[in-house]
Structure 1
Amino acid sequence: MKRAYVIGSGPNGLSAAIVLAQAGVDVEVFEAEAVPGGGARTLPLTLPGFEHDFGSAVHPMAAGSPFFSSLPLGEHSLKWIHGEAPLAHPLEDGSAVMLEQDLADQDREFGSDAQAWRNLVEPLVDHWEQFAQDALGPALSIPRHPLLMARFGLSAFQPARRIAMRHFSNSRTRALFAGLAGHSFLSFDQMLSSAAGLVLGAAAHRFGWPVARGGSQSITNALIGCLQSLGGKLHTSRRIGAEEFREWNQSDLATLFDTSPRQLAAIAGECLTPSFRGLMERSKPGPGVFKIDYALSERVPWKAAECRRAITVHLGGSYEEIAASEEAVSKALLPERPFVLAAQPSLFDSTRAPQGKHTFWAYCHVPNGSTVDMTDRIEAQIERFAPCFRDCVLARHVSSPATLERMNANLMGGDISGGEMTMRRFLMRPTMLTYETSAPNLFLCSSSTPPGGGVHGMCGFRAAKVVLHRSRFF
């Protein structure tokens, strides 16, 4: 019988298992926690009846994932829910600049900057399927669509500061782009800091920024349903340690790790060469996040009514303020006015909270492993754009970087990106071997491999394809 193991049940681990099961492989997935899903879990973190997304909440890349779109996830009760607009970005004057799904609506929002924005994202919107085939894979591979990727690369490799200042004349447009670029966790003077903003902007116009009805756990549950329909098995509350792994590891049994590189080294240990194990142990995580989940008595009292049109809200004010916040974090400093990313899914998904009540989710970037309580700074930013917000708070669940790592060992020091996003890591994520390791039967399939963080399953998909090409296993 063809057989393989997967350690970790995040979206990438489950995606890898599904690809293998589709090929007729007998797959078993082992999850350390009682609830599967890794960062894609929904948990009762505050009060009864309030359901909170532990990690990822809004899913533009899941909706646009080539692999997810090939699966019958709807047959396993996954339903995408959209806001009226993908994103709201409130400003100091009491208004908000919006990211609209329809490009024609975006033209009206951006005015004189509309054509510049179209020049940057419209090719990706119009040719997403071709773009995704190349972009959601290893950087050091020959693209199937070289002209499209070259056009994207000319902009994506530039620092966000250069894109903002050279392409946009309006401060409102610059502010919104700064919030998008802030997802990179990079200083806006660094190369590649534009890439995340362009991809997320294009995804918004093509697919929107939806949430899963009932929470991100619904994505995990749908993937598990697909896996089980193919005969795959999932074991929860099964933390695999180094001793147990040594006992089961066989040279003709493929094992895929949906873990951080350091966890791979800790579990696989002497099965890896000393030099490769050292590389994994020295793998540098990215910045961390400090996150707060709220149970609210009513919806957030935004000054800008437009903010009620969107599930996602970026809180940081002007381009200059957001740039300063991200630069501070890149220097391992704490921003006084952090850029805050927020989600309010209960505005459009009534399953998240009791009738008339709401859930709210907010986080900011901090240096990896930071121990400073950012609650007051985050809430000051929220109240800046939603006065009296604290009066609506029934309960809060605060997750420091240490808390996040304790709840999901992959989130080392609060890193939700699978490692730093520098140019070197972009080209060699985590090494030149990408999904392979120094042991011919051991593979890495987590967000520490290409294409990186996000709920899209493409790391697992591509890792499993590599395994299947190694016919010695099957």
Structure 2
Amino acid sequence: MSDRAVVVGSGPNGLVAAVALAAAGREVVLLEAAERFGGGLRSEELTLPGRVHDVGATVMALALASPAFRELGVQRLVEFAHPPVAVAHPLDDRPAVLVHRDARRTAEGLGADGAAWRASLGAAARAGLPLTDLLLKPLGPWSGSPRAFASAAAFGLAGLAPATTFARRVFRTPEARAAFAGLAAHSMLDLRAPLSGAYGLMLGTLAHLVGWPLVRGGSQVLADALVARLRELGGEAVTGHRVRRLADLGDAGTVVLDVTPRQFLAMADLPPAYRRRLRRYRYGPAVFKMDWALDGPVPWRDPAVASAGTVHLGGTLEEIALSEAEMARGRHSPRPYVLLVQPYAADPTRGGPTLWAYCHVPHGSPVDMTAAIEAQIERYAPGFRDRVLARHAMGPAALEAFDANLVGGDIGGGLASLAQFARRPVWSPAPWRTPLPGVFLCSAATPPGAGTHGMGGWQAARLALRAS
């Protein structure tokens, strides 16, 4: 078998796979269809010259927690910039909830629910990286202390509950319930659905464990650093090379594909049973994303929100749950949950104040959500529109045109439901391995799913090296 390994796609999973294979001595070629590396890690001047916007991933909590990125020494490759406050959740008639890196400080701001926050998200954070290592390797290989396994079991049992159930069972105040809803809504699930609570628990845990930082200079800096590392190891990296059929790759002994099932079905002649299983794979809801160039910071009604890198807009648990339920039913909420990032709170190197936000919409939606998103910002920051120098919008079609893995505008690589968690993209003890000899999948359509953690690439590379 040839020692040549070809990695198709340079999102975080493809980059991790390429570097891991090259570090193990394999001859690696990384092929990217776009003119720049990075996939969801790309940064562009979307609004005004000199203004750096992250087109996809911005907040890098998973990159710091990931065993794959830690193994690659990510903190030696790039500089991470931490905002003074990890997450803020403004409310209409009371001060914003602030989620700090320090769980105790967060709890102090939650009054009657401080103890409950410390006993849930704080306890998971205290379990440390051994816990998150287990959670990011849902199918193994596992290692760790009995305490870590016990923590993971407790986390799993709690996280199976819908976010609405967990929030109402654990917390008594509107503030804590709203903050948890804002975290859980990252799942892009109906918050009444099983497993939605796990996303809130995981993201809150990461805020306390490693923070919610950005890469100084933009997410593209991380992608470029990984490509540079690949080349240092003797690998080759090529942009503008679209792979349409696996047969075009020549004599590669190993092929690792950072693509979703739809692309893989078009690229290869697969066994009928496996092809049918891939066709049953479900993509999830989409996002409508906006970027702004501002002439100054957002004029938040509560000044404390200005210190947060990430802001969750949507109000109470009940309001956010209603918005996400509407989206799950294929409707567009007039008051959507909005996930917003203000990079200038952590990183002043991006050419001036920029802003990034999206709301969830039905898969493939053609609806322009600009007015609805800006109305939610104005709700908590009156006068926001007066600060806008330029805006840029990307609906689902534009997002898929930017990155073919964002099928129908789904930034998660597939529905994050409980059923699909167990078969991503198919039910298998090693779903990164395909029926084709030497061919592996590594995108967000494989465990552990979406996020800048590189674990799909790490798992695919591990299996490829064992097979050679």
Task: State the TM bucket, normalised to the shorter chain.
Answer: over 0.9
- Aligned counterparts of 2:27 and 2:18: Cα–Cα separation in 1: 9
State the match for 1:120 in structure 2: 120
**C-alpha separation in 1, matches of 2:300 and 2:157:** 37
Which residue of structure 1 lines up, in the alignment, with residue 49 of structure 2? Answer: 48
TM-score if structure 1 supplies the norm length?
0.94
Residue in 1 that maps onto 2:449: 452
What secondary structure is seen at the aligned counterpart in 1 of 2:355?
A: strand
Which stretches in structure 1 are left out of the alignment for 5+ residues?
none
CA contact (8 A) 1:262 1:282 kept: no
Match of 2:211 among 208, 213, 231: 208
Q: Which residue of 2 aligns with 1:465?
A: 462
Structure 2 counterpart of 1:234: 237
> Which residue identity does 2:39 align to in structure 1?
G
Name 1:280's counterpart in structure 2: 278
Q: Secondary structure at the match of 1:48?
A: coil
Which residue identity lines up with residue 360 of structure 2 in the other structure?
A: H
Q: What is aligned with 1:246?
A: 247
> Is 1:295–1:358's contact at 8 Å kept on the other side of the alignment?
yes
1:336 equivalenced with 2:339 (yes/no):
no
The 8 Å contact of residues 296 and 395 in structure 1, kept in 2 or not, is answered as yes
- RMSD of the alignment, in Å? 1.5
Structure 1 counterpart of 2:337, which letter? F
Taking the aligned partners of 1:389 and 1:457, their CA distance within structure 2 comes to 36
Matches within 5 A, 1:22-421: 22-76=23-77, 78-93=78-93, 95-139=95-139, 144=144, 145-242=148-245, 245-250=246-251, 253-268=253-268, 270=269, 272-353=270-351, 357-421=352-416
SS in 2 for 1:350: coil
SS of aligned partner of 1:363: strand
Check the 8 A contact 2:104/2:118 in 1, yes or no. no
Whichever residue aligns with residue 409 of structure 2, its letter is G
Percentage identity across aligned positions? 45
Following superposition, the deviation at residue 140 of structure 1 comes to 7.9
Q: Residues of 2 paired with 1:381 and 1:75: CA distance?
A: 38
Q: Which moved more, 1:33-42 or 1:119-128?
A: 119-128
Cα distance per residue 1:356-390 (max 9 Å; x no partner): x4100010000110000000100110100011111
Q: Which amino acid aligns with 1:292?
A: M
Tell whether the 8 Å contact from 1:67 to 1:457 is kept in structure 2 after alignment. yes
Q: How far apart are 1:74 and its partner, in Å?
A: 4.3
Taking the aligned partners of 1:30 and 1:170, their CA distance within structure 2 comes to: 51
Contact preservation (8 Å) 2:131, 2:149: no
- Bigger mean CA deviation after superposition, 136-145 or 360-369: 136-145
Conservation of the 8 A alpha-carbon contact between 1:370 and 1:401 = yes
- DSSP-derived class of the 1:4 partner: strand
Aligned to 2:425: 430
- The equivalent of 2:9 in structure 1 is 8
Structure 1 residues 94 and 129 mapped into 2: Cα distance closer, same or farther (>3 Å)?
Answer: closer
Separation in structure 1 between the aligned mates of residue 143 and residue 266 of structure 2, nearest angstrom: 34
Q: Residues 139 and 426 of structure 1 are in contact (CA less than 8 Å); yes or no, is this contact kept in structure 2?
A: no
When the two structures are aligned, how many residues end up with a matched partner? Answer: 462
TM-score by length of 2: 0.96
- Counterpart CA distance in 2 for 1:419 and 1:254 is 25
Between the aligned partners of 2:6 and 2:41, the Cα distance in structure 1 is: 20
Question: Is the contact made by 2:58 and 2:219 (CA closer than 8 Å) also made in structure 1?
Answer: yes
Instruction: Pick one of 416, 439, 442 that aligns with 1:442.
Output: 439
